[in-house]
Amino acid sequence: MLLLGPIGFTAPWLLLALMALPVLWLVLRAVPPAPFRRRFPGVALLLGLTDDKAETDRTPWWLLLLRMLAVAAAIIAFAGPVLNPQDRQPGTGPLLILLDGGWADARDWPRRIDRASALVEDAGRAGRTVAVLRLTDAPQAPVFQAANAWTGRVGALDPQPWAPADLGQWAAVLPQDGFDSFWLSDGLDHPGRAALLAALEARGTVTVFESPRPVVTLRPAVFEEGVVKVRALRAVPAAEAEFEVSALGPDPSGAERELARVAVVFKAGETEAVTDLSLPPELRNRLTRFEIVGLRSAGAVSLTDDSLKRRKVALIAGGGTREGLQLLSPTHYLEQALEPVADLIDGTLEDVLLASPDVIVLADVGRLSVSESDGLLDWLEKGGLLLRFAGPRLAASDVSRDAEDPLMPVRLREGGRSVGGAMSWGEPKALAPFPENSPFHGLAVPADVTVRSQVLAQPDPDLAGRTIAALADGTPLVTRKPVGQGQVVLVHVTANAEWSTLPLSGLFVQMLERLAVSTRPAIPQAGDLAGQIWVPAAVLDAYGTVAQAGDVAGVAGEVLAQGIATGPRDGLPPGLFAGADRRVALNVIGPETVLAPAVWPGRIPVEGLTADREQALKGAFLAGALALLLVDILASLWLTGRLRAAGATGAVLALCLLAISPPAQAQQTGAEDDALALQATTAVVLAHVLTGDAQVDALAEAGLRGLSQKLAERTSIEPEAPIGVDLDRDELAFFPFLYWPVTATQPLPSAKAYAALNRYLRTGGMILFDTRDADVAGFGGTTPEGRRLQELAAQLDVPPLEPIPADHVLTRTFYLLQDFPGRHAGRSIWVEASAPDAEQVEGMPFRNLNDGVTPVVIGGNDWASAWAVDDAGAPLYPVGRGFAGERQREIAYRFGVNLIMHVLTGNYKSDQVHVPALLERLGQ
């Protein structure tokens, strides 16, 4: 390749043709221009005369120069000009390209792929074979192939959400033949890097490409001294730097939002930064993850688990503390075990129920009043955990004797069992190993834990299924039963050391953790996780994006504990793992992870990723030659007098400018916007969101066309033809109503579109989200459309929602409705939640809800299919069967009419003036 400054030529011998330009100049100079044509009647007198002496004129020099430049541009174009030509590496042997391919590469993965693609292209030009290795994969011998075999495969590579393992294993599988290597390093010193580098150098030259961008990560957040400690880590000590960390979690409506933001500052020369984040318990318990703002990497994301969540626990004892005998207090050991890891609540039972605790512990409480029992039952139905401990009071009472008490898991025998008692043991009993169906399974039972006394359970048929811990002789020690969404657990010994040594052992704290009474703020150890299969609830990809676990298999507790200690790996991705009683986060960066920067020997050339790419200039020179030839044509026409008319000259110039200038997109867009505004504001227009799926968009348009026809037939509303709305381009304020069919593959709106959508919702617009999945799994369920709806609505300012109540205004704005079917039957739709103080007045058929229009309606009944009609007004899709199906279609139309009337009139039908007519229609 011939290099002339920043430009090179792939076929420089063609430039020799430039030497012929002077000869061409002389030839063209000698050729006269075309003669002028003059119409003169007297020229007829000259016919037949001959001129012995002919004179020629010369072509103007500027026209010759124009033609020379056109020919030179064409010659240079075919010589293959290239901007920023790369210096080719010598040699024709095989080329091995290595990518670390871990989470640290994700921050600039596109640039790494561009660099690797350029290397493959260069090898293809040189006729070299290529092999590409991603070091996060299992070690296997590289296979060298022709460069064109890797052209598409390199672009399809993705980073993995874990770091390379022992790189020394790769050295053992390398072929013995010679080859050159290019290593795209992530900048970290992974185990075995030196061994792999030595093996590569033994086979040929090695060049390293490394990004200058710093590697910044987050350690798992911990709760200490009443605040959340947020720790950031960087690989290379450098100048002072500041990063923002965002704390994310669901809001009360379930949508994920930023709950807090805090700045972490690395001081000059330090690699770790710590900052405190103070949050109220309600917000702290909602945290799901922390992430460094602006960094796309799994290392910049730290998932949170139960270690940050402090449950509210109420401790209630059956008797007062004995003066001077603190160790004999019924709640002393409970307080010592729970105070570091839970928020303890004091007060009477009725008082603590008002605080909605997560757990209520009754230590030797016998009889409860009717109001206390009713309050506890209501609390249990909503998901509370009632933990009861036995004691002298409970043993002496008649609670749960003849009939099982609702607040007890089993029936009890009178009295109790103790060493030396009526039903005596010869000696204190030890604990039996915990069965597999027990939440305590996997916990080691210390040999010094013994039981001297206990309350006995009646041998009922359900006793074996409710026993989750027993003594060595099979006597139940801990029993449990579900009550509604909650559960009742009874420990058949006291919460202090009077009846057993259990409260004195570490097993006592572990059992409380397994029962979800408390959470351990420290990182779990192998013993804490053993004995269970942990199912992934969510996983992280290399870019730090949280996704559903899908088909990722569960792992044993011992494997998960090893992953927490050493980091994720192939088959054990980072994510949130759920057990029977708690959730554990496996993050890329653990509490003891050390980021060591890669230090390369001086003999290894290290380049950056920002190398200039070659750019072919052939097209640009050919376009220039064509433009010069067009100018030459115009000049020749002008010289011959054929462009004498000003109008003809202007027309030709306009055509040339039109040919070489880009279309006036802005003017066209402005005209389209004006047309859209005129169409949408001169009449009522129903609109649907364009999803990118042509079939779904056509169905939505047909559905709104059918609904518009019914509105014109039955109401005073006469809508125009429906319009498809592009969220990124069109103004939404023109439309009172948007129908949004949700597909599993539609792209997320841009930031600009989300801003427009939130502005639309806040200013009175309504969006009907239709997942079209028959709501088979309930709102926010597990269908692909339901999951996509959650992702679409994550950044929308959606108010709290509730299933539509029976007295909602949508049930009576035009028709009286009880169901809201589409192509699928069902009443389950979600609307904005009613005000907490909305009460129904006696004698009224509904509450006073005259407070505006619900901004969103969510369902999955596929209303567009039920509304859709063809150009002749006939239904496009069948609904149900026979008369019942047509009746369902009619109710679907009525729901659509009610919906549009609600949008246009608000909660007008909630006014009391309509009460007499509604009561008459309702038959009251």
Check: CB of residue 560 under 8 Å from CB of residue 533: no
pLDDT over 50 at 131, yes or no: yes
What's the pLDDT tens digit per position in 808-817? 888 888 888 8
Helix ranges (DSSP H) in 491-567: 506-514, 526-529, 557-566
Across 149-158, 548-557, 633-642, 737-746, least confident range: 633-642
Share of the chain above pLDDT 70, in %: 80
Check: CB of residue 234 under 8 Å from CB of residue 216: yes
SS3 readout for 254-274: CCEEEEEEEEEEECCCCCEEE
Which tops the pLDDT comparison, 666 or 549? 549
Q: Which residue has the tokens 């003017």?
A: 667
What is the pLDDT averaged over residues 322-350? 76
- d(Cα 580, Cα 512) in Å, to the nearest integer? 13
User: What are the DSSP E strand ranges found in 14-128?
Assistant: 81-83, 95-99
Running DSSP on this structure, what letter comes out for residue 810? Answer: G
- d(Cα 140, Cα 133) in Å, to the nearest integer? 9
- d(Cα 901, Cα 532) in Å, to the nearest integer? 55
- d(Cα 291, Cα 589) in Å, to the nearest integer? 12
What's the pLDDT tens digit per position in 425-476? 668 889 999 988 888 888 889 989 999 998 999 988 889 999 999 999 889 9
Check: CB of residue 697 under 8 Å from CB of residue 724: yes
For residue 322, what pLDDT is reported? 44
Q: Which residue has the tokens 């899908």?
A: 550
In terms of Cβ atoms closer than 10 Å to its own Cβ (0-12, 13-18, 19+), residue 619 is exposed
**At 4, is the pLDDT very low, low, confident or very high (cuts 50, 70, 90)?**
low
For residue 46, what pLDDT is reported? 66
Within 8 A by CB and 6+ apart from 906, the residues are 850, 852, 853
How many residues appear in the chain? Answer: 924
Residue 330 three-state SS: coil
Within 8 A by CB and 6+ apart from 379, the residues are 353, 356, 360, 486
β-strand pairing of 486-491 with 476-483: antiparallel
β-strand pairing of 766-770 with 737-741: parallel
Q: What is the average pLDDT value for the chain, to the nearest integer?
A: 82
Strand order in the sheet with 180-185: 145-146, 129-134, 95-99, 180-185, 206-210, 606-607
What's the pLDDT tens digit per position in 402-414? 889 999 999 998 7
Encoded tokens for 691: 């999803």
**At 678, is the pLDDT very low, low, confident or very high (cuts 50, 70, 90)?**
low
For residue 91, what pLDDT is reported? 55
What's the pLDDT tens digit per position in 561-598? 888 888 898 888 999 998 876 788 999 998 888 899 99
What is the pLDDT averaged over residues 364-388? 88
pLDDT over 50 at 665, yes or no: no
For residue 777, what pLDDT is reported? 47
The pTM of the full predicted model, rounded to 2 decimals, is 0.50
Check: CB of residue 30 under 8 Å from CB of residue 4: no
Q: How far apart are the first and last CA of the chain?
A: 95
pLDDT over 80 at 114, yes or no: yes
For residue 161, what pLDDT is reported? 92
Helix ranges (DSSP H) in 487-584: 506-514, 526-529, 557-566
Residue 331 three-state SS: coil
What's the pLDDT tens digit per position in 522-541? 566 666 677 788 888 899 99
**At 718, is the pLDDT very low, low, confident or very high (cuts 50, 70, 90)?**
confident
Residue 284's nearest CA partner among 239, 359, 368, 226 is 226
Check: CB of residue 895 under 8 Å from CB of residue 821: yes
**At 518, is the pLDDT very low, low, confident or very high (cuts 50, 70, 90)?**
low
Rg (CA), the chain: 40
What is the pLDDT averaged over residues 301-325? 74
- d(Cα 554, Cα 93) in Å, to the nearest integer? 46
